Structure 1
Amino acid sequence: MVLGVLAGGLSLVGLAFANSIVGVAIAWVLVQVCYNFAQGPLSAIMPDRVPLSRRGTFAALSGIGLMVGALGGQIIGSLFFNSLAVGYLFFAAFSLVALTLFVVFNPDYSSKEMPAEPFRMGDFLRTFWVSPRRHPDFFWAFTGRLLLYTGYFAVTGFQLFILTDYLGVSEPQTVIPLLGIISLAGILLATVVSGPLSDKLGRRKIFVFISSIVTGAALVFPWVSPTLGSWMIMTLVAGLGFGMFQAVDTALVSEVLPSAKSFAKDLGVVNIAATLPQTLAPGVAGAIVLTFGYAGLFPVGIVLSILGAFAVWPIKAVR
């Protein structure tokens, strides 16, 4: 985790000083690779240390951290609107300090007494293929997350341009912090309630289903009424839906992992469903915008979110 966040920080430094499209592309790929190098083992902490009956609450807390980071970063990032290089350097240093403190103050259990299995490259590579036929619950959990994240980030990833070119906001940097606070309020409210409630009821799927439907429904507002007010309503409602999803879906996924011997790897595979949409959505969404305009993003996001909701119903191992 420390090596990943250190390399990610150095990649951000490279991004800060890149002065060509090729340089930006290379630095951004390295940022994605390195920070996900840290994210993989970080996500394995819950199944390693948290009992099943408390995973909804723990997932809620980790979801709060994730979304506070994403939206807080958005709010802080807007302060560097005219000083992008300084912003990259700030986030590089902040992430390094935060994750290093986590590692220092949350030591893992010793693995000295665990038998070390011989390393074989073929066995290692084969672990990254999880058969949908043998592990259908894992497949459906992965698919549901992939669909919702793609639908959500295809729209929100273009927020700056939607504000300026679709909604006519002349100074978006003055609005983005407010939108971040609105979204954060919805996320915190939904997360704090839904995570512990999911533990109490012993149910996961209904929460994930509702959260995906709510997130998709939120995108209707700016689609039918392209105003800043509608975007604010969407931001709040989508925050409620996405907050509920973050709080419960992580717990659901932790209960359908194929093998207790490979928590970190399996959760790393699941994380692809969260990171891939954020990486590919701008390209796919850009093609949609060029063809149909910004209004074309919303029906795509709605359909993908709804499909993500129904993807959880075939899961049998979790109620």
Structure 2
Amino acid sequence: MTTHPPAAAVVDAPSSPSPSPSMRRLFGMIVPLNAAIYLIIGAVPGILLPLQVQEIDRAGKAAALALITGIGAFAAMIASPVAGLLSDRTRSRFGRRTPWIAGGSLALALSLAVMGLAKSVPQLIVAWVVVQIVLNFVISPVTALLPDRVPAARRGSFATVAGVSMMLGIVSGQAAGAALSGQGLFAYAGLSAVLLIAVLAFVLVCPDTPSTGQVNEPFDLKVFLRTFWVSPRRHPDFFWGFLARLALFTGYFVVTGYQLFILQDYVGLKDDAVDLVPLLGGINLVALVITTSFSGPLSDRIGRRKPFVIASSVVMGIGMAVPFAVPTVTGMIVYTVVAGLGFGMYSAVDAALMSEVLPGESSYAKDLGVLNIAATLPQTIGPFLGGAIVTLAGYPALFPVALLLAVAGALAIIPIRSVK
């Protein structure tokens, strides 16, 4: 929807022997930025939101959580490509991405404060919907930094750094959520403060290129609405990448969306489950770092992405089978290690692979926003599917379904032809 040279073309040529100073700053500052964003994602939906729901409706907590997260994720699914489109078309002296990253973060801080004051399920639904919308107005332009500013030869390495910082944020968020459980508004205010500091540092150290001279094509609503449909005929590789991510993330959220309740009711830890969540998160981070540390750079070196993504999906599927057979704390620890190894490999390479199947250079954020539907739509499907599974067959049935979806994600990678 825009006509301008891609930023990566002027940042650092793929053949350059060493990264430019701006590239080194970008690699360094994406760590606190991503960590601060995913600190919120680890703390709120993983700990603080389920505890709020449990405090409001202990007997119906599973169904209530499914309703809240499902509606919120549907809002995020719509917001993600809209945020990407607006970011792609933004003309300002601060660039295309910076206004949305900064403004979205401020709106997110305010909406989290409102969420901390919610006292009923309807209030939580409204607050969580707003949080999900403004969160995507931060995530979509941040996601576009990879194709915008990073040359193809270094995208695997950048995805590795971004993936590790993402998981660091999630694990730290789980620990913070457990430590701040019961603190209400104070917990949300603390998370917001960390985000605002990280965003301020990023936009000052890594300024975007001014986009005041950018020429945008006339907006066509029909064309934009068609972007929600990924055509297997016109863009087959983009379609298969979308489908693979959709399947894998649906399997992931079927389980992780109920992790706290699984520990409470399936493993039998009751109220002690809150203390185990950050411990499992730390174990997951260690496992993730092991595979992330070499997967992204190695995929850059050998010029292959697909084997890593396929292998990671299969490993994650194997991990999901463990708690089904061993419904204990030990089983959950083994699951966490195995799934962490798989997800580490996946997060290090998937972003680089997806950036290479995008339909056009002039609409990176919008197209990535569409791809992000494959990550946000499962947050709608997962809780509703998970809630139905728990209601009909109990918690054990969650794991075989998640395994099958992970394997389906691996199989969907195979038909991609433009990436090895």
State if a TM-score over 0.5 links the two structures. yes
2: CA distance, partners of 1:121 / 1:219: 41
Letter in 1 for 2:103: L
**Match of 1:25?**
125
1: CA distance, partners of 2:252 / 2:375: 11
**Match of 2:366?**
265
**Match of 2:154?**
54
Residue by residue, what CA displacement relative to the aligned partner does 1:125-169 show, whole Å, maximum 9, x if unpaired?
444444221001001111111111110121122111111111111
- Aligned residues of 1:128 and 1:265 also touching (Cα < 8 A): no
State the shift of 1:104 in Å.
2.2
**Match of 1:240?**
341
2:400 aligns with one of 299, 304, 307: 299
**Match of 1:107?**
207
> In the alignment, is residue 142 of structure 1 matched against residue 242 of structure 2?
yes
- Aligned residues of 2:117 and 2:184 also touching (Cα < 8 A): no
2: CA distance, partners of 1:46 / 1:206: 21
**Match of 1:187?**
288
Q: CA RMSD in A?
A: 1.5
State the shift of 1:278 in Å.
2.6
2: CA distance, partners of 1:195 / 1:230: 29
How many percent identity over aligned positions? 50
Gaps of 5+ in 1: none
State the shift of 1:101 in Å.
2.1
- Aligned residues of 1:212 and 1:306 also touching (Cα < 8 A): yes
Q: 1:127 to 1:165 in 2, by over 3 A?
A: closer
Give the TM-score normalised by structure 2: 0.73
2: CA distance, partners of 1:149 / 1:127: 20
2:357 aligns with one of 219, 231, 256: 256
2: CA distance, partners of 1:101 / 1:230: 41
Q: 1:159 to 1:273 in 2, by over 3 A?
A: same
**Match of 1:78?**
178
Residue by residue, what CA displacement relative to the aligned partner does 1:41-70 show, whole Å, maximum 9, x if unpaired?
111111111111111111111111211112
Letter in 1 for 2:303: G
SS in 2 for 1:29: helix
- Aligned residues of 2:318 and 2:403 also touching (Cα < 8 A): yes
1:160 aligns with one of 249, 260, 269: 260
Question: How do 1:223-234 residues align onto structure 2 when only pairs under 5 Å count?
Answer: 223-234=324-335
Letter in 2 for 1:67: M
State the shift of 1:115 in Å.
3.0
> In the alignment, is residue 317 of structure 1 matched against residue 418 of structure 2?
yes
Letter in 2 for 1:157: G
**Match of 2:81?**
none
State the shift of 1:72 in Å.
1.6
Letter in 2 for 1:85: L
> In the alignment, is residue 8 of structure 1 matched against residue 134 of structure 2?
no
Q: 1:117 to 1:22 in 2, by over 3 A?
A: same
More off after superposition, 57-66 vs 118-127: 118-127
Q: 1:287 to 1:116 in 2, by over 3 A?
A: closer
State the shift of 1:114 in Å.
3.2
**Match of 2:309?**
208
Q: 1:85 to 1:114 in 2, by over 3 A?
A: closer
2: CA distance, partners of 1:207 / 1:266: 23
Q: How many residues align?
A: 319
1: CA distance, partners of 2:266 / 2:144: 40
